[in-house]
C-alpha cells in the first residue's frame, strides 16, 4: 500500500506522535489529476473502513508526480482510526456506520477502479487475515507498541485481532456502499 515510512517521536506537548517520511514534490489531493495507481485508492478505502479511520481528508491524501505525467496516490495518517474504541465496545453488527473521512477523493474514483481494485484488495486482506494467527497478532502488537510506546497487554492485542477478524467479512460491502454514497453526494 502506498504509505511512506516514518517513526514514532516524542513531542513536548502531544506525547508520542507518528511522523511520516517526507514525500518529495507531493501535494494534497487536487481534483482532476490522473492517478497512476488507482488500485491503491481502493486498498486505502478498504483499510480505512476496516480500522474505522474517520480522518481521511485533503491533508492525508498526497499526490506525487511520476515520470509518466501522472500522479501516485499516497495515504498518510491513521491517527483517526477508531479501531481501539470499537474493538473494546464492539457494536452489535460489524457494519455499524463507518465514515472514512471526507469523501472528496472517492467522488473521482471510477467504477472500474473499484471493480478491478476491490478483487485484489480483498484478496490481499484475506491473505493477511488468513495467515497464521501469530503473524496477525505480531502485526497488531507492533502497531500498538509503536502507538503507545510500551508493551501492549496480551488481552488488548487479542481484542484488536478478534475485532479485525469479525469486521473483515463486511469490509468490502461497507467500502462499496460508502463509495456509492460519496458518488451520489448523500454522505
pLDDT digits (tens, 9 = 90+) for 77-126: 776 677 656 666 666 555 554 555 666 677 777 777 777 788 888 888 87
Q: Which domain holds residue 165?
A: 34-61+77-184
Q: Average pLDDT, whole number, for the chain? A: 79
Q: Taking residues 145-171, report their average pLDDT.
A: 83
- pLDDT of 96 reads 53
**161 found inside a domain:** yes
Look at residue 187 and tell me whether its pLDDT is greater than 70. Answer: no
Cell numbers found for residue 155: 488481552
Asked whether residue 135 is assigned to any structural domain, the reply reads: yes
Query: Is residue 68 situated within a structural domain?
Result: no
- Give the mean pLDDT of 1-6: 74
* pLDDT-derived band at 25, boundaries 50, 70, 90: very high
pTM of the model: 0.77
Angle between helices 111-130 and 38-50 (to 10 degrees): 50
- pLDDT (average), residues 165-176: 83
pLDDT at position 66, please? 92
- Please report whether residue 90 resides in a domain: yes
In a domain, 40, yes or no: yes
How much is the average pLDDT of 119-147?
Answer: 80
Among left, alpha and beta (phi > 0; psi -120 to 50; other), residue 32 is left
Q: State residue 80's pLDDT score.
A: 67
Express each pLDDT in 33-47 by its tens digit.
Answer: 888 988 888 888 888
Percent of the chain with pLDDT over 90: 7
Over residues 24-39, mean pLDDT: 87
Whether residue 14 lies inside any domain: the answer is no
Q: Count each helix (H run) and each strand (E run) in the chain, helices first.
A: 6, 5
Residue 71 lies in a domain: no
Measure Cα distances from 80 to 84, 134, 180 in Å: 10, 26, 22
Taking 60 as the threshold, does the pLDDT of residue 60 lie above it? yes
Q: Which pLDDT does position 22 carry in this prediction?
A: 84
Task: Give a yes or no: residue 115 inside a domain.
Answer: yes
Closest to 74 in 3D by CA, of 90, 89, 56: 56
**In angstroms, what CA-CA distances link 171 with 26, 47, 67, 121, 178?**
29, 8, 34, 11, 10
Q: How many domains does the chain have?
A: 1
Amino acid at each position: 500500500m502506498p504509505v511512506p515510512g516514518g517513526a514514532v517521536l516524542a513531542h513536548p506537548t502531544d506525547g508520542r506522535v507518528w511522523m511520516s517520511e517526507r514525500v518529495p514534490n507531493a501535494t494534497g489531493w487536487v481534483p482532476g489529476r490522473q492517478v497512476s495507481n488507482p488500485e491503491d485508492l481502493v486498498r486505502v478505502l478498504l483499510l480505512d473502513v476496516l480500522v474505522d479511520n474517520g480522518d481521511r481528508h485533503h491533508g492525508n491524501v498526497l499526490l506525487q508526480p511520476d515520470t509518466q505525467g501522472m500522479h501516485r496516490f499516497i495515504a498518510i495518517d491513521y491517527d483517526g482510526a477508531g479501531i481501539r474504541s470499537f474493538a473494546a465496545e464492539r457494536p452489535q453488527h460489524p457494519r455499524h456506520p463507518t465514515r472514512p473521512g471526507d469523501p472528496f477523493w472517492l467522488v473521482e474514483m471510477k467504477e472500474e477502479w473499484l471493480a478491478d481494485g476491490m478483487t485484489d484488495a480483498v484478496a490481499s486482506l484475506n491473505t493477511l487475515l488468513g495467515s497464521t494467527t501469530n503473524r496477525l497478532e505480531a502485526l497488531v502488537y507492533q502497531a500498538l507498541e509503536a502507538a503507545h510506546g510500551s508493551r501492549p497487554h496480551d488481552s488488548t492485542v487479542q481484542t484488536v485481532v478478534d475485532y479485525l477478524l469479525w469486521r473483515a467479512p463486511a469490509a468490502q460491502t461497507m467500502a462499496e456502499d460508502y463509495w456509492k454514497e460519496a458518488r451520489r453526494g448523500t454522505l
